[in-house]
Structure formats: structure tokens, C-alpha cells
């Protein structure tokens, strides 16, 4: 009974056998609930149906009639043309299919059908190039209303097929479900009940009802999600950390005084926010946002030092070995004179070294441990872990991040990202108190000059690179890397490096760097590059995040149209980190409009937020970068950008609900909680909240 029906496998529905079930499964539809939550993206208005004679040339029309005759022809070029004469009551028109020989088997004389297609008029006849058709079963699908659902289709999923099984499922469902949203909320927000909403979203009587149903499901999804987050926040807020920092401190003060530059006002502000959190008894969960090159690293070092001067340890996790090593080297150099001991743990480290390193971590001899994901592996035990910093958090899997948080005794956590999540969204996802932003770059930075050069014009690119190197600067050349065949791409990168070293750049020192190189090889290449011994670094996107070599002033990105805006912006962020004018050359001959638009956007602005907005515009809200990787669940109907108002509403209601029933003990809360668990449990357990 009741909810169990929704949990049943789709095979349970009449007319769905194993074969159809397999097709549905490919689209991620396993249960009846999955099917009913596979919502139409729009509706087709059946009132648009009109006689062929009334259609205009070129119009997309919906027509209906009775099949009179079916004829198959072959064009001179071998195209199979199925031409079907249809009587719409007023006359005959012809429906045309190309290369779909099976159509003629499906269309029998006397059958009534509805077709959608483009109208072509000529010689007194009306022809319709069919885009979609279905049997007009009169009393069945159509009688449900004048609006027919149009579902997003994937491979093998057909409109007609979906409509008919959803219809069948809805019929079997009648009276078997229970409402799980609180009655009071539905009333307050004027939202329809579950079952009626299900009917209305699939087969609405009118647009208003369809819209109300849609609103309900959007709210439902966001409300459950916010509820899940509130529960988790509450849990986090109730924790107490074992080690707490004291205000003030000689180490941090002296470090800041001795920096080769002055911290910007925003860096100082953020440092204060972090200090305050570290001095509180509630574990910190703070997100630090700042565009590429904004100077987040130094802020994290100051926080780590604060832990150290309080007798605690700090950990810094970076997404790549190269970045981890860079942080390690930077800190060792900057902190050595304060007697702070920094360790480096990456996957590439030898067992013996690792064992002795881990011993010093456990004994507390190491004050700051820098590393990659290796940090969260078993066997890493801290003596007194006070602070965890996660750099470039969007590059980590959500699980990895969460794992680190659970280490030790509720340590403070600071996650850093260059992904510009819009503030309204960030607030909703991370909570009010937990975001810090560095909105300005350090002074004296010149915006990187960005050019777009067609693929054929490499000579020009190379001569620009030479010019920079002759002036003592350094260069990156980024080779394309397609995931499908990493090996071949790496060979191509290696070959390119070799060719360039032998010919074009024979007077220069060229190096090669890619992700599959051994750790020590990578390290030594990066060291050489940092010291300026390699002038031109041919590399893959391994350098994408975090790499900081201020003397590098030119980056050429080959096949730049293959990357998204976020990635291009990150790559460009590898230059322009010092006082020199820097250059970014996007080498590409884009084939798509979107590819061209991305390159254009890159040449027009160096502002990460502006690019993010452009990205949003180009790719649509659902694809917005950072969000996919941010560990958020995929929503079925809600869109965090489009539905931001509903998101705010859902958040308010969820917070109010938890305030009223903090233990979630009311029967209504129990029902909600079950629903939350079913939908968001795995996602929310791992969501890092700042």
C-alpha cells in the first residue's frame, strides 16, 4: 500500500516488460517514483490542432486525422521516404518521414494519429515533415487535457512511450499515496497535494495547474534539501572542539610584520574573521572565496601559524602534488626561521620516508602537514590537530573533504576556492556566518592581456613567447588533454616538447610536465621552473590550479576552445602574479558558436565573477561551474539559480521548522525526515558546510 507503490520497480506497471524496463533504466528510471519524478520539460498545447488547410507555409503545426494510405519511395540519393495520406475531415494532407522504414508497419489504414511537424505547401497539396507523432487514442491520452507532456528524451526513450507508461502509472497510483509535506505549509504557500500535483504536472488541465504543480515539486525538493542541511548544521554547531586558540600571538604578528608586502585591507579583515572563529569553542567551518591570485595562501598560512602558536598542529590539503609541494616549499622557506616544522605528504612518497614522517606527525614534532589526498588516508594521526585548510576545495571529491573534517577532535576547517559562487547561493548553501571574501587583488597587478589567435598562426605565438623569455621571463605552453585517451595526449605533449626544444626553441631551455609523470620527476621539473632554469614549460592542465611562479608572464593555451570558462580563467591565472605585464594567448579555431563566445569573453575581461556570469549565460544555470563539483546533489526539478527565490523561501521554512521541532520528533517531522533521508542522505552527509 501507499508509498510502497512508488518504491516498486517500473516493471510493476502494466505494459512495462523487461525490455522497456531496461530502456528506462538507462535513463536512470528504476522505480515508479523515479518515473513519476521524471518531469516534462514543457507541454504541447493540443488546442493548437487545426486542419491542414488552415496552416501556413513553414509553420510548426499540430494536426490530427485518419490514415488513408501509406506509400514508400526511394529518392535518387537513396533516402527512404514514407508518405502517408491523412484525412483530417476537411481534406487530405500528406505526412512525410525520412529514413524511418519501420513507420509504415506502425501506421495502419484507418488509424487515427496526431502529428507535429513543419508545413510545406505546394501544387495545392499540404505536406508535413513529421517531427513527432502519436496514436490518437481519443478517450485515452488526450482526454486527460488539452496539454500533452513533452519529456526530455535520451537515447531510446520515446515521447509516446513515456507518455503512455506515465499515464498507466498514474492510473494505478490513484489513492495509494500519502502526503509528506506538512499540511500547514501547503496551505500557507498555496501548493497542491502530492497526488494531485503528480497528475497535474504530467497531464495538466491547464497551464495554471501545471505551474502550481511545478512550484510544489520545486519547493518540495528545495525544502527537503534545506531541511537536510539545517539538521546537519545544527549537528555541527553543537559540537565542541577540543582545542581552542587564544587571542593575540607573537608568531603571527611577527610573521605579518616580516612579509615582503603589506596585507591588503581585505586580507586583514578575513584574517580577523578566521581568528575569531579559532578562538570560539564552536568548530570553524569557513569558506574563503577569492579570485585567482587574490592572495588566499598567505591568509591560510597566518591561520595555520595561529594554530601553531597555540601549541596545535595544522594540516593543509591541496588537490595536486604540484600544488602541495609548492605550498610546502613556500612555507618551509617562510616559516623555517620561526622554528616551525613543516612536513609534506603526497602519494608519491616512499614507504620508509612516509613512516618516519607520520611518526613525527603523531608525536607532534611536525607543526604543519601539507599534502594531497594522502592526508586523509588511514595511518595519519595527529598529536593535536587544531586547523585543517583545504585549498581549491572545488577540485576535491566531497567525500574526501568530509573525511578530513572528521579527523582529530572537531578541528577548525577553512576551505578556499576561487569559484565565485554567487553570494545569495553561497549563503543558502554554507550558512550565514561562514563565508569570507577577498574581493580585491593585491595592489600593482596589471590585468593579463589576452589574445585569441587561430590555430594556424603558431609562429606568431612562438615569437611572442621568445620575446618574453629574452626579457628574462618564463612561459607556459598548455597542450590539450582529452580524457578519452590520456595516453595519446601525453605522448603528443611529450612530442611537442621535444620538437619545440629541438627546433623552434632550440636556444631556450624547455621542460615537460604532465600528471602521469613520477612524483619526483614532477617535483624536479617544477623546482627547475621555479628557479628559472626551465624557461618554457610545455605542460598539460596539471598546472591549472594554484601554481604560483610570478616570473612567468606568458601562457599559450592550445586548443583553448576545448576548455570551459572556469578552466580557462584558472589557467590564465598562472600568469599575472607579479608586477610584470603578462599575456595569455588562446590558440584555437573554434567550430561552435559557444566556443567562440567563450574565447571572446576571455579576451574581454579578467574578472572571475564576470566570467562566471557569462558562463551562466552561455551554458545555462544547471551547468554553472563549480556547482556540479561542489558536492551538491543533482536536483530533479529545482534549479538553484533560476529558483533562487524558492530556495530562500525553502530555507526560511526549513529553519523555522527545525526551530519549532528541534529534535524532529513530531509525527510530521518523522515523515519529512524519512523523505529527506531517501533523497539527500548520501549527498548531505558529505556536504561540507563551509
Footprint of ligand ADP on this chain (CB under 6 A)? Answer: 261, 263-264, 267, 290, 292-298, 418, 442, 546, 548, 550, 577
Cα 14 to Cα 24, 139, 164, 174, 202: the distances in Å are 14, 18, 10, 14, 18
- Residue 220 vs 291, nearer CB to ligand ADP: 291
**420 contact, one of Mg ion, ligand ADP, none, CB 5-8 Å limit per kind:** none
For residue 16, the partner it binds in ligand ADP, Mg ion, none, with Cβ less than 5 to 8 A by kind, is none
CB nearer to ligand ADP: pick between 69 and 259: 259
Q: Which contacts of 179-186 are long-range, i.e. CB under 8 A and separated by 24 or more positions?
A: 180/671, 180/672, 180/674, 180/675, 181/216, 181/220, 181/223, 181/672, 182/657, 182/668, 182/672, 185/223, 185/653, 186/216
Residue 216: which of Mg ion, ligand ADP, none does it interact with, CB under 5 to 8 A by kind?
A: none
In whole angstroms, what is the distance from residue 651 CA to residue 343 CA?
Answer: 42
Which residue of this chain has its Cβ atom nearest to ligand ADP in the complex?
Answer: 295
Distance CA 126, CA 104 (A): 20
Q: In the complex, which residue's CB is closest to Mg ion? A: 546
In angstroms, give the least distance from the CB of 391 to Mg ion.
Answer: 6
Q: Which is nearer to Mg ion, 405 or 419 (by Cβ)?
A: 419
Per partner kind, with CB cut-offs from 5 to 8 A, the member of ligand ADP, Mg ion, none near residue 292 is ligand ADP
Q: What residue 310 binds from Mg ion, ligand ADP, none (CB within 5 to 8 A, per partner kind)?
A: none
C-alpha–C-alpha distance, residues 684 and 94, integer Å: 55
Residue 290 sits in the site that holds Mg ion (CB under 5 A): no
Shortest Cβ distance from residue 272 to ligand ADP (Å)? Answer: 15
> By CB under 5 A, what part of segment 181-210 binds Mg ion?
none
What is the per-residue DSSP string for 537-557?
EEE-GGGTTT---TTEEEEEE
Binding Mg ion by CB under 5 A: which of 420, 546, 590, 626?
A: 546
> Closer CB to Mg ion, residue 438 or residue 554?
438
Please report, as residue ranges, which positions from 580 to 619 form the binding site for Mg ion (by CB under 5 A). Answer: none
DSSP calls for 457-520:
GHHHHHHHHHHHHHTT-EEEEEPP--GGGHHHHHHHHHHHHHHHHHTTTTTS-EEEE-TTS-HH
Residues near 131 by beta carbon (within 8 Å), at least 6 away in sequence:
60, 116, 117, 118
Please choose, out of 1-9, 345-353, 365-373, 538-546, the segment that lies near Mg ion by the rule CB under 5 A. 538-546
**Least Cβ distance, residue 412 to ligand ADP (angstroms):** 19
290 binds, among Mg ion, ligand ADP, none (CB under 5 to 8 A by kind): ligand ADP
Please identify, among the stretches 105-113, 151-159, 540-548, 608-616, the one whose residues bind Mg ion according to the rule CB under 5 A. Answer: 540-548
3-state SS record for 406-465: CCCCCCEEEEEECCCCCHHHHHHHHCCCCEEEECCCCCCCCCCEEEEECHHHHHHHHHHH
Smallest separation, CB 296 to ligand ADP (Å): 3
Q: Within 10 Å of residue 47's Cβ, how many Cβ atoms? A: 8
Which CB sits closer to Mg ion, 385 or 418?
Answer: 418
Q: Which is nearer to ligand ADP, 316 or 647 (CB)?
A: 316
Closest distance of CB 548 from Mg ion, Å: 7
Q: How many angstroms separate the Cα of 593 from the Cα of each of 589, 601, 603?
A: 11, 12, 16
For ligand ADP, the closer CB: 62 or 549:
549
Q: Contact residues for Mg ion (CB under 5 A)? A: 546
Amino acid at each position: 500500500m501507499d508509498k510502497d507503490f512508488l518504491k516498486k520497480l517500473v516493471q510493476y506497471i502494466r505494459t512495462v516488460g523487461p525490455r522497456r524496463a531496461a530502456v528506462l533504466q538507462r535513463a536512470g528510471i528504476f522505480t515508479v517514483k523515479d518515473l513519476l519524478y521524471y518531469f516534462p520539460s514543457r507541454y504541447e498545447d493540443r488546442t493548437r490542432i487545426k486542419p491542414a488547410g488552415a496552416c501556413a507555409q513553414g509553420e510548426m503545426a499540430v494536426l490530427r486525422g485518419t490514415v488513408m494510405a501509406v506509400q514508400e519511395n526511394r529518392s535518387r540519393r537513396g533516402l527512404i521516404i514514407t508518405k502517408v495520406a491523412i484525412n483530417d475531415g476537411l481534406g487530405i494532407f500528406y505526412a512525410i518521414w525520412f529514413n524511418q522504414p519501420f513507420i509504415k508497419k506502425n501506421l495502419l489504414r484507418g488509424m487515427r494519429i496526431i502529428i507535429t511537424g513543419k508545413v510545406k505547401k505546394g501544387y495545392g497539396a499540404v505536406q508535413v515533415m513529421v517531427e513527432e507523432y502519436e496514436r490518437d487514442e481519443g478517450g485515452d491520452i488526450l482526454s486527460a487535457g488539452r496539454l500533452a507532456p513533452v519529456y526530455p528524451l535520451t537515447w531510446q526513450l520515446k515521447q509516446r512511450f513515456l507518455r503512455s507508461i506515465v499515464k498507466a502509472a498514474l492510473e494505478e497510483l490513484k489513492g495509494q499515496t500519502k502526503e509528506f509535506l506538512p499540511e500547514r505549509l501547503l496551505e500557507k504557500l498555496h501548493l497542491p497535494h502530492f497526488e494531485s500535483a503528480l497528475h497535474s504536472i504530467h497531464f495538466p488541465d491547464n497551464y495554471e495547474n501545471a505551474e502550481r504543480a511545478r512550484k510544489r515539486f520545486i519547493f518540495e525538493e528545495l525544502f527537503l534539501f534545506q531541511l537536510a542541511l539545517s539538521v546537519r548544521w545544527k549537528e555541527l554547531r553543537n559540537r565542541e572542539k577540543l582545542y581552542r586558540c587564544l587571542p593575540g600571538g607573537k608568531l603571527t604578528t611577527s610573521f605579518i610584520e616580516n612579509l615582503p608586502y603589506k596585507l591588503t585591507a581585505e586580507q586583514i579583515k578575513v584574517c580577523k574573521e578566521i581568528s575569531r572563529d579559532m578562538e570560539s569553542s564552536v568548530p570553524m567551518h569557513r569558506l574563503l572565496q577569492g579570485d585567482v591570485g587574490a592572495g588566499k595562501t598567505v591568509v591560510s598560512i597566518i591561520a595555520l601559524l595561529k594554530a601553531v602558536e597555540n601549541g596545535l598542529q595544522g594540516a593543509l590539503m591541496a588537490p595536486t602534488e604540484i600544488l602541495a609541494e609548492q605550498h610546502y616549499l613556500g612555507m618551509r622557506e617562510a616559516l623555517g626561521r620561526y622554528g616551525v616544522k613543516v612536513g609534506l605528504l603526497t602519494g608519491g612518497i616512499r614507504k620508509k620516508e612516509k613512516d618516519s614522517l607520520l611518526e613525527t606527525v603523531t608525536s607532534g614534532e611536525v607543526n604543519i602537514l601539507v599534502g594531497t589526498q594522502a592526508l586523509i588516508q588511514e595511518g595519519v594521526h595527529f598529536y593535536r590537530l587544531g586547523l585543517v585548510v583545504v585549498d581549491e576545495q572545488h577540485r576535491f571529491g566531497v567525500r574526501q573533504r568530509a573525511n578530513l573534517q572528521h579527523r582529530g577532535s572537531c578541528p577548525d576547517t577553512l576551505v578556499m576556492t576561487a569559484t565565485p559562487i554567487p553570494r545569495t547561493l553561497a549563503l543558502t548553501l554554507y550558512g550565514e556566518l561562514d563565508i569570507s571574501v577577498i574581493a580585491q587583488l593585491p595592489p600593482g597587478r596589471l590585468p593579463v592581456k589576452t589574445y585569441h589567435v587561430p590555430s594556424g598562426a603558431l609562429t606568431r605565438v612562438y615569437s611572442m613567447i621568445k620575446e618574453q623569455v629574452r626579457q628574462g621571463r618564463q612561459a607556459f605552453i598548455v597542450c590539450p588533454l582529452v580524457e578519452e585517451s590520456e595516453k595519446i595526449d601525453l605522448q603528443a605533449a611529450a612530442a611537442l616538447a621535444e620538437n619545440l626544444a629541438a627546433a623552434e626553441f632550440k636556444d631556450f631551455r624547455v621542460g615537460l610536465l604532465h600528471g602521469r609523470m613520477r612524483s619526483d620527476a614532477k617535483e624536479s621539473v617544477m623546482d627547475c621552473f621555479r628557479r628559472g632554469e626551465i624557461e618554457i614549460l610545455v605542460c598539460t592542465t596539471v598546472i591549472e590550479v594554484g601554481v604560483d611562479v610570478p616570473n612567468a608572464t606568458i601562457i599559450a593555451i592550445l586548443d583553448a576552445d576545448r576548455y570551459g570558462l572556469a578552466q580557462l580563467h584558472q589557467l590564465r591565472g598562472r600568469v599575472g602574479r607579479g608586477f610584470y605585464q603578462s599575456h595569455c594567448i588562446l590558440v584555437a579555431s573554434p567550430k561552435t558558436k559557444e566556443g567562440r563566445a567563450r574565447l571572446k569573453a576571455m579576451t574581454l575581461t579578467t574578472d572571475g565573477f564576470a566570467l562566471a556570469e557569462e558562463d551562466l549565460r552561455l551554458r545555462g544555470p544547471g551547468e554553472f561551474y563549480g556547482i556540479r563539483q561542489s558536492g551538491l546533489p543533482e536536483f530533479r526539478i529545482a534549479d538553484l539559480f533560476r529558483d533562487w527565490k524558492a530556495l530562500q523561501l525553502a530555507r526560511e521554512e526549513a529553519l523555522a521548522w527545525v526551530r519549532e521541532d528541534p529534535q524532529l520528533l513530531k509525527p510530521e517531522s518523522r515523515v519529512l525526515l524519512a523523505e529527506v533521508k531517501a533523497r539527500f542522505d548520501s549527498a548531505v552527509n558529505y556536504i561540507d558546510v563551509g
